[in-house]
Structure 1
Amino acid sequence: MWLQIALYFFYLFCRNQAQNQASLSRLNDPNGRCHYTFTVPSPMESSCSGSSTKQELNGVLSRLTLVEALVSRLVEGADGGRGAGRAEESLQEAYSLVTRERNQLQQDKEHLSRQVQKLESSLAELEREAESLRQRSCQQTEASEGALYNYRPAKDPVQHDLRNDAYQEMKAEVTELPASRLLPEGNLSFTGCGELLSVGNPVLHRKAESITGKYGVWLQDPDPRGPSFTNQTVWRIDAVGTDVRQLFMFEDMEQFSKGFPSKVLVLPEPVESTGATVYKGSLYYQRRRSRTLIRYDLVSESVASRLDLPQAGFHGQHPYSWGGYTDIDLAVDEQGLWAIYSTNKAKGAIVISQLDPVSLQVKESWETKIRKNSVANAFMVCGRLYTVASYASTNTTINFMFDTATSEGRAISVPFKNKYRYNSMVDYNYAHRKLYAWDNFHMVTYDVRLGRPRHGGN
């Protein structure tokens, strides 16, 4: 088609040239002289014979060459149209990709902006707390220098309000005792096994990412066994759900804070609530909806032993005051593995049993007079049970202590903070001398200070 159009234009061009234009030619004669010839076409004759015929043929050939070049260019242009279409499609795809990248960057920017706002809010809260601490007077300086307080229970409970947070505790009789009765001479940082003197402010290490982390278990093994674990390894279980089986392992506290688990183990049987603990290379936990205790070996990743805890209440029969099916709470301290629970025989009072860490058999048991559903949490330190009065009050106390060495208990009042107002787990780690807690999505630790025991023995 393009060739026909080109030939048609060539015909018109030649005809117009032949009718309306004159031509000038230059030729050499036999003697080498240059002859110029000016030719005007005749309006009557379409052609004539003579030497000008060759010149006209040369002109026609020249114009034909030009037409062929034009046709070739047109044909190439037709093919190039399809190539241009493909190029346009490629450009459209590239534009779409850039648009998507831009939108993703915009979303990332918005997400980072929200995180910055949260961090700024947290920083402002910390600054307010620091200012409050600076302005608050220290109550201990009002007492005699070098004296500490010891509390002994009275017979009748009384309602008491501390910083507008009401809670139930036993009436205490305050007696001044010299510091030497509780601390070694000249050593205020006693590292031996003794009574709990104070608990520091909570230090945040990680916040849970989803609703399954509203409450759970997180801790470190104070006496690890196995080539892959140390006392820096962190273990975590998100305990919200009907089929809790995932156990997250983190190499150390830094990786835990960043949320980068090095391994995820799937437990063979589901976990009940927040009473699990880790000790000597094993995870100890209560099987869901049962009084069965399970020792899960972390090296072989298999169940090593199991035992039904005799007469123990389970699945909401004798929980802590916050609920959560916390009937059986397993704990570890300097003296070994413990179970904190209750029975129908004890009528809801806390029972403490020391367990064999291999077989889970009960070695010895103690029945206290502390009602389990009246306290929020409990933990063991140096063979002594300590209970937390409230899980929701920001400023509460550790209000009872029971000593298994003497089978005696008494009311105490050691300040304790639930900074995030829903503390569902408190466990002691004797290797790091810290309490580990899970407070409303937040995983925190508290430094603890111990003094010399009042009684002989440990």
Structure 2
Amino acid sequence: MFLLLSMCLLGLLAPRGDAQDRAALWRGNDRSGRCQYTFTVASPAEASCPHAGGPEVEGIKTRLTLLEALVSKLTGEEAGASSADAGGRLREALNRAVGERNLLQGEKERLQREMGSLQRRLEEMLRETERLRSRPCPLQTPAVPDGGLMRPAGGSNPMSHLMARPNRLGDGSNLRDSVWQQGFQEVKAEVTEVPAPEQYTGCGVLVSVSEPVTHRKADSIAGKYGIWMQDSEAAAPYGSSMVWRIDTVGSDVRQLFGYEDMEQLSKGYPTKVVLLPEPLEGTGAVLYRGSLYYQRRRSRTLIRFDLASESVAARRDLPHAGFHGQFPYAWGGYTDIDLAVDERGLWAIYSTSKAKGAVVLSQLDPHDLRVTKSWETNIRKNGVANAFLVCGRLYTVASYGAANTTINYMYDTESSRGRPLAVPFKNKYGYNSMIDYNPAQKKLFAWDNFHMVSYDLRLGRPPAEA
């Protein structure tokens, strides 16, 4: 910096080369403490100045002004660049620290949930042990030959006279057979199974959800979150038994794996691998009528990918939909747009700025992805863990991590009304990132912390039919 300033001064004094050796430069603080640069140049021809001003003085003033502007610019740029670099490094370090803190916080919450679950199981085992210890052993009744009753120690049977009495019809046979017949009928009545309630096969309301059944665990960290599904209205060349899977961890999710059936899925050997033309975001993709419907990464664009031709058959923006972390489910994962299928077609579950984060439900044309009708609910999208549709009714799950949670809300598109529910639901592995309904099988497919699981549903008659 000082070298550059010296060169500027030499350039300023260049027209008067014979006076360069008599020029002097000073640097010091003025009365206010501000740094000033001062220099003097002796005139080679004038012993005294006859008057102030003149073109020469004006030229020197102009050069001094230019010099001051150059010095200010250089010092300002140097300080600004240094401040910008320091600020950038600080922001980068802060972002890394925040990210690491969030990861650690999530891991801490997961460990706390697991510890709580283990403690509850231990307490239950201790209570069961105490109960078994305090319960007396049952008395063993010795067998009596010939089907006779036990006799007292004295050898007489207080019921023997009843056994020998004739009945009212004059039958001289004893009553032993009738007594045992009556006992047999009572025992038979006790062990007769009560038939299970008949499964309602129509388009009903959700009554209960079964325990989860595990089909497979993902092989790598890319499968912590994912999607797995079967096409409820499969089209050639793939049948309804074909199972499809997508691991969704990563910034460039494009691979779609296909398996011939559930057994092949459990073995882990795909028979088909498809590379999607554009990356996928979230865990909201679905299969319907031979096409994969999904959200393109970092956009509100929906894509219909035809599996038979392995090409894009349609694309369209979902109007006003939030994306890439604006209105996700409670667990995150860029789940702003969740596509769903039920008995009534293809749906999109999302939110908009106008809805202020409330769940918006739209029915889509499966051919060209147009919105045919929309409903706005009064439940917050980021306040629920996931959602799915059954028979035109939207259901939401309260928690993605609690082992025992509930399906806590239902919205009916026919009446445009919602109401709270309390249907028990289990997250077996503690981090459920995807739940979709298969109307052909009346099952829920879910991805729970590396594990692909399914649930059987029981439906009941709608209130109007009950």
TM range (shorter): 0.5 to 0.7
| TM-score, scaled to structure 2 | 0.58
Q: Does 1:421 align with 2:403?
A: no
Q: Deviations over 1:280-312 (max 9, x none)?
A: 000000000000000000000000000000000
Aligned match of 1:191: 201
Q: Deviations over 1:199-225 (max 9, x none)?
A: 000000000000000001000000001
* Structure with max Cα Rg: 1
Q: 2:327 aligns with which of 318, 336, 341?
A: 318
Q: Deviations over 1:66-109 (max 9, x none)?
A: xxxxxxxxxxxxxxxxxxxxxxxxxxxxxxxxxxxxxxxxxxxx
Distance in 1, Cα, partners of 2:261 & 2:293: 20
Q: 2:314 aligns with which of 277, 284, 305?
A: 305
Q: Deviations over 1:363-382 (max 9, x none)?
A: 00000001000000000000
In structure 1, the residue corresponding to 2:241 is in which secondary structure? coil
Q: How many residues align?
A: 278
In structure 1, the residue corresponding to 2:280 is in which secondary structure? coil
Distance in 1, Cα, partners of 2:220 & 2:417: 42
Aligned match of 2:104: none
Q: 2:260 aligns with which of 239, 251, 261?
A: 251
Residue identity in the other structure for 2:323: F
Q: Does 1:412 align with 2:412?
A: no
Alignment of 1:190-209 (within 5 A): 190-209=200-219
Residue identity in the other structure for 1:204: T
Alignment of 1:286-297 (within 5 A): 286-297=295-306
Aligned match of 1:210: 220
Q: Does 1:340 align with 2:381?
A: no
Alignment of 1:232-381 (within 5 A): 232-381=241-390
Shift of 1:456: 6.3
Shift of 1:400: 0.2
Q: 1:230 aligns with which of 229, 239, 259?
A: 239
Shift of 1:455: 3.3
Residue identity in the other structure for 1:360: L
Distance in 2, Cα, partners of 1:445 & 1:323: 22
Residue identity in the other structure for 1:241: G
Aligned match of 2:83: none
In structure 1, the residue corresponding to 2:279 is in which secondary structure? coil
Alignment of 1:108-257 (within 5 A): 188-226=198-236, 228-257=237-266
Shift of 1:229: 1.1
Which segments of 5 or more consecutive residues in structure 1 lack a partner in the other structure?
Answer: 1-124, 136-185
Distance in 2, Cα, partners of 1:417 & 1:261: 29
Aligned match of 1:452: 461
Residue identity in the other structure for 2:211: N
Aligned match of 2:94: none
Distance in 1, Cα, partners of 2:209 & 2:444: 8
| TM-score, scaled to structure 1 | 0.59
Aligned match of 1:401: 410
Q: Deviations over 1:117-142 (max 9, x none)?
A: xxxxxxxx9xx99x98xx8xxxxxxx
Distance in 2, Cα, partners of 1:366 & 1:273: 22
Shift of 1:349: 0.1
Q: Deviations over 1:346-390 (max 9, x none)?
A: 000000000000000000000000100000000000000000000
Residue identity in the other structure for 2:293: Y
Shift of 1:273: 1.1
Distance in 2, Cα, partners of 1:187 & 1:417: 22
Aligned match of 2:147: none
Q: Deviations over 1:5-30 (max 9, x none)?
A: xxxxxxxxxxxxxxxxxxxxxxxxxx
Distance in 1, Cα, partners of 2:463 & 2:238: 36
Residue identity in the other structure for 2:217: K
Distance in 1, Cα, partners of 2:310 & 2:465: 41
In structure 2, the residue corresponding to 1:255 is in which secondary structure? helix
Alignment of 1:21-100 (within 5 A): none
Give the fraction of aligned pairs with identical amino acids, expressed as a percent: 69
In structure 1, the residue corresponding to 2:373 is in which secondary structure? strand
Aligned match of 1:9: none
Shift of 1:404: 0.3
**When you count strand as a share of all residues, which structure comes out higher?**
1
Distance in 1, Cα, partners of 2:434 & 2:387: 8
Residue identity in the other structure for 2:459: L
Distance in 1, Cα, partners of 2:230 & 2:461: 26
Shift of 1:187: 5.5
Question: Per chain length, whose mean CA-contact separation is higher, i.e. which structure has more relative contact order (CA < 8 Å, sep 6+)?
Answer: 1
Distance in 2, Cα, partners of 1:403 & 1:257: 36
Distance in 1, Cα, partners of 2:335 & 2:464: 32
Distance in 2, Cα, partners of 1:304 & 1:411: 39
Residue identity in the other structure for 1:220: Q
Distance in 2, Cα, partners of 1:381 & 1:232: 21
Aligned match of 1:19: none
In structure 2, the residue corresponding to 1:369 is in which secondary structure? strand
In structure 2, the residue corresponding to 1:256 is in which secondary structure? helix
Distance in 1, Cα, partners of 2:465 & 2:273: 45
Which segments of 5 or more consecutive residues in structure 2 lack a partner in the other structure?
Answer: 1-117, 129-195
Aligned match of 1:391: 400
Q: Deviations over 1:248-283 (max 9, x none)?
A: 000000001110100100000000010000000000
Q: Deviations over 1:225-263 (max 9, x none)?
A: 11x211110010000000000000000000011101001
Q: Deviations over 1:131-167 (max 9, x none)?
A: 98xx8xxxxxxxxxxxxxxxxxxxxxxxxxxxxxxxx
Shift of 1:188: 2.1
Aligned match of 1:111: none
In structure 1, the residue corresponding to 2:323 is in which secondary structure? coil
Distance in 2, Cα, partners of 1:260 & 1:191: 34
